Structure formats: C-alpha cells, structure tokens
Amino acid sequence: MSMTQPVERKKIHPHKFALYVAMGSIVMMFAGLTSAYIVREAQGNWVYYKLPAIFWVSTFTILLSSVTMHLGVRAFKNREMPKYRSLITTTLLLGVLFGVFQYIGFTQLYAHNIKVNGNPSESFLFIITGLHLVHILGGIIALLIVFFRAFRTHVKIYNATGLEVVASYWHFVDALWIYLFVFFLANQ
C-alpha cells in the first residue's frame, strides 16, 4: 500500500492577485482604446504627426527606472538596505523625470498646433497617453510610500510582498508605455 503525500498548492498573495486583476482590466482598456484608434484612422480625416524626440528620452528614462526597481527589490531581499534605499530613490526620481519629459513632449506637440480638441488623431493621442500618465502617477504615489518606508528607522519585519506588488505594477506601466510608444510610432 503506497501512501501519497497531499499536494500543497502554492497560493498567490491576495494583494498580488488583486493587482493582476487590475492589470488585466487596464490591458483591456488600452487594447480597446488602441483598437478604436485603428478603426477611427481607417475612416479617414486623419492627421499624421511626428512625435517629438523627447519621447525617446522619456522611454529610456522609464526603462532605466524599471532596471533600478528590479535591482532595488533584489537589494531589499538581500537586506542590503543602503543600496535598496538609493535604488528606490533613483526609481522614484526617474519616474518623476519620465512625467516631466512627457509634459515637455506634449508642450512641444501643442506648440505645433496638435491639440486635444483638434483632429480625432490628436485627441486619441492625448487621451491614451493622458490615461497612461494617470497610471504613472499612481505608480509614483506607490513609490513614494515605498520610499518613505525604506527610510524608516524602525523595521519590524522584512516582508517583500508590498515591494513586489509595487515593482510588478511599475514594470507593468513601463511595458504599457513601450506598447503605446511603439503603437504611436507605427501610426505616424
């Protein structure tokens, strides 16, 4: 007679599960918006524009912020707290810098008479990237919370779950920007 061991299922943390559901919803929203962009473009009366070079800089900035976030999580798990603090600070600053570069880019577009109330192509650009910036703002708020926690003097436990949730979200908005940037470059 053989005895079998009960199989222990690895459970996902509820916060991570909620994040994955939210990310799925966000993916669906942006898929719908970019699909609507394509459908509306096919109807004609479409203005094509060139994205300012600053968007390339902002893309590099957010990619770099994902690298520093990844290294920060690793440093936290290895309990290298000074390194973790500097990497989280760098990630936060890069996230803010991304927003600043986006603002500069849209100011340049506006200076070239590309406005949200103009042609539908322009409105789609502003709405889609504006929604992405709202999600970036949410990520920056989460990074601020992680930042302030990193500099607390009294730490009871070293639990990485919250940091992993923030990191997953940050990598997600990074990947989402890459998708949107490539999408807009392909439709110039």
Domain boundaries, the chain: 50-186
Q: Quick check: 159 pLDDT over 90?
A: no
**Helix and strand counts by DSSP (H, E) for the chain:** 5, 0
Q: Quick check: 50 pLDDT over 70?
A: yes
Q: What's the mean pLDDT in 14-36?
A: 94
Please report the pLDDT score of residue 94 as a whole number: 97
Q: What's the mean pLDDT in 36-44?
A: 90
Q: Which residues of 68-81 are buried (b: 16+ CB within 10 A; e: fewer)?
A: bbebbbebbeeeee
The distance of Cα 66 from the centroid of its chain, to the nearest Å, equals 9
Closest among 61, 58, 37 to 47, alpha carbons compared? 37
Q: What's the mean pLDDT in 148-172?
A: 87
Cα(105)–Cα(57) distance, integer angstroms: 10
Q: What's the mean pLDDT in 86-115?
A: 92
Please report the pLDDT score of residue 4 as a whole number: 67
Letter for the amino acid at 76?
A: F
Q: What's the mean pLDDT in 118-136?
A: 88
Please report the pLDDT score of residue 2 as a whole number: 57
What's domain 50-186's architecture?
Up-down Bundle (1.20)
Higher pLDDT, 137 or 44: 137
Please report the pLDDT score of residue 8 as a whole number: 67
- pLDDT tens for each residue of 103-119: 999 899 888 887 767 67
Give the mean pLDDT of the chain: 90
Q: Is residue 62 within 8 Å of residue 18, measured between CB atoms?
A: no
pTM above 0.85, yes or no: yes
CA angle 102, 106, 108 (to 5 degrees): 115
Higher pLDDT, 121 or 55: 55
Closest among 114, 134, 136 to 125, alpha carbons compared? 114
Q: What's the mean pLDDT in 82-97?
A: 96
